Structure 1
Amino acid sequence: MKNNMREIFMVVAFFMGGIILFLPQVVSAENANDVIEKVVNNLNGETAVMEISMEVKTSRTKRTMKMKSYSIKQEKSFIKILYPKKDEGITFLRIDNSMWQYVPRIEKT
C-alpha cells in the first residue's frame, strides 16, 4: 500500500512540476487583449456579406426593410436598401469613423 501511495505521489508531483515549468511560458506568450482580439477576429472573419430583413413596429404601424450589407473587418461597410420601393437604392458607406449616405431621389451625397 505504501508503494502504491508513493507511486501516485510521484506521478502527481511529476505532473504538477511539468505544469509549473511550462505555465509561465504559455501565460506570458499572450496578454488578455491579444486573446480577446483573436476571439473577435475569429467570430467576425475578414469579410462578410449579409442580407438583412428588419421589421420596424410602432404603436400604429409596422413596416419591413430589406438590405444587403458588405463589410471588411470592423473598418469598412457598405449597406444598400433593397425594399421598400420608396427607399430602394439608398446606400450607406462607412470607413472607420466616417459615414456617408447616398439618396438617389435627390442625387446628392
Structure 2
Amino acid sequence: MKKPIFSLCLLQFSSQLLGVMPAKSLPPPEDIPEEVLRTEIITEARSPIDGKQLTAAEYAQLQNALQTRPAATSQVNPKLRELVFLLRVRRLLRTFGVPTPK
C-alpha cells in the first residue's frame, strides 16, 4: 500500500525539480482557437478615410470608388517649376565643387 503513495510523491517531487507544471500552460477553455478565428468571415470593416465602421458592402463600394477616381493632378506654376529645377541644378553643381553665383 505504501508503494503507490511513494511513487506518487516521487513523481510530484521530480516534476517540481524539473520545472514541469502539468496543464498550467494551456489557454483558458473560453479562448477561441486560432484555427477557428482564421476561418471566420469578416463582416465589418473600418473606413480608411475617417475610421468609421462600415459593413462589408459599404467597404467594397468605398474601395471601388477610391480605385476608380482619377488621380489628383496638381498644376504647378511654370515659374515655380523652373525655380525648383534651377535649385536642383545648383545643388548638383555644389556636389562637384563648382562655384555658383549667389
Give the alignment's TM-score, normalised by structure 1.
Answer: 0.29
Compare the two structures and name the one with the higher helix fraction: 2
Compare the two structures and name the one with the higher strand fraction: 1
Question: Which structure: larger Rg?
Answer: 2
Give the alignment's TM-score, normalised by structure 2.
Answer: 0.30
Q: Which has the higher contact order (CA 8 A, sep 6+)?
A: 1
